[in-house]
Amino acid sequence: MAENFRVMFAGLAQNTDQAHAISQLATKLKAPTAKVAAFFDNKPLFAPCEKEKALKQAKLLASVGVISKLQPVETSTASSTVASDNETSSQRDERIFNALDYITSSLIRIEEKLDDLEQRLSTTQQQANADEDEDWQNDDLLLDEELTTPIKKRSNVLLFSLIAMVVILLVLLGLSFAFPDLFSV
């Protein structure tokens, strides 16, 4: 990985006026004079770049009477990654907040619609109940049918067979107590 350098202000050449150098440099670079003036206060004018490009920038500055020095800049991908991660994180956070806002407003709209439907449904049910209440009073009672139905007789075969089985088992139990020798093997 190539090392990057930054061109920094070191001083002015002899017989060079700072205001004149600022105006000439601003004209050559087509940059605002405020940014060029900040360069004279040890603020960076150019972005960090490779050594060849930094030397060309220093040569340009020397042509207007500005003495400069090359300052090595540590190329830390971690710092650029952190900056981009912070930007990405802030953009992600903004998207998350926008999504949450959208979801919240959607939930509020759904809740309002449910309330409207509930009110409509309750009024509809009340009307239906009122109609039903009135209808049963208008119906004639059918008294022609018998009010009691005969009870169906079930087959008691199962019941009688269970009772017979229990009686036989009790008789066998009684015999086993009365005559223990009879059932011993």
pLDDT in tens, 145-167: 666 666 777 778 888 999 999 99
Token pair recorded at residue 135 = 């209808």
Residue 101 to residue 107: CA distance in whole angstroms: 10
Class of domain 4-75: alpha beta
Taking the C-alpha atoms of residue 66 and residue 45, their distance in angstroms, rounded to an integer, is 13
Q: What is the pLDDT of residue 76?
A: 60
> What share of the chain has pLDDT > 90, as a percent?
10
Q: Where along the chain do its domains lie? A: 4-75, 76-134
Reported as a single tens digit per residue, the pLDDT across 81-108 is 556 677 788 888 888 878 877 888 788 8
Report the alpha-carbon distance of residue 112 to residue 109 in Å, rounded: 5
Strand, coil or helix: 65: coil
